Copies of this chain bind each other. A is one copy, B any other.
Amino acid sequence: MSDLFLEAAIEEARKGRAAGGIPIGSVLVHNGQIIGRGHNQRVQHGSVIHHAEMNCLENAGRLPGKIYRECVLYSTLSPCPMCSGAALLYGIPKIVVGENKTFQGPEAYVRSQGVTVEIVNDPTCIELMEKFIAEEPTLWNEDIGV
């Protein structure tokens, strides 16, 4: 796996799991530079909105619309409706998805709105989630509103 940005997102996911949380990570990339990174905070901060992508966007801070429209959002997992919606709100034109085997967000809808969604299906991303879901199915279901 050669994509350094997806690698950084995986590092975020691992950091989250190491803290007892859900192993999903995300980075925001602008002109080849990481300008935000984050991971799911449901366990760590009792948050229902800090999914990895949301936490990443929040950590990137307040940015002009112009910047978002030049960004690529990386996530280890296919973005859920909320995180997909955040990308649409800010006009982020491209999302690189580590995997969509263990969960699939509204990719077709996101694409229909003009966003490029690239699915890597990286074995490390899949393994991280498969292990986590097997270990904590109830927590996982809570995170996706099941």
- Interface residues, chain A, with chain B CB atoms under 8 Å away: 42, 46-50, 54, 57-58, 60-65, 68, 80-86, 88-91, 106, 109, 141-142, 144-146
Chain B residue at minimal CB-CB distance from A46: B62
Q: Are B85 and A63 in contact (CB under 8 A)?
A: no
Q: Which of B62, B63, B89, B144 contacts A82 (CB 8 A)?
A: B89
Best-surrounded residue of A62, A85, A91 (most CB of chain B within 10 A): A85
Best-surrounded residue of A57, A68, A88, A106 (most CB of chain B within 10 A): A88
A106 contact set on B, CB distance < 8 A? 85, 88
Could you say how many copies of this chain the assembly holds? 2
Q: Are A63 and B49 in contact (CB under 8 A)?
A: no
Given A64-B142, A81-B86, A85-B106, 6 other A-B residues pairs in contact with their CB atoms under 8 A: A65-B141, A81-B88, A82-B82, A83-B85, A84-B85, A85-B86
Contact A48 B42, CB 8 Å, known A64-B142, A86-B82: no
Report the Cα distance A47→B62, complex, angstroms: 7
Q: Which of B57, B68, B109 contacts A49 (CB 8 A)?
A: B57
Report the Cα distance A80→B57, complex, angstroms: 16
Q: Which of B49, B84, B89, B142 contacts A144 (CB 8 A)?
A: B89
A61 contact set on B, CB distance < 8 A? 46, 48
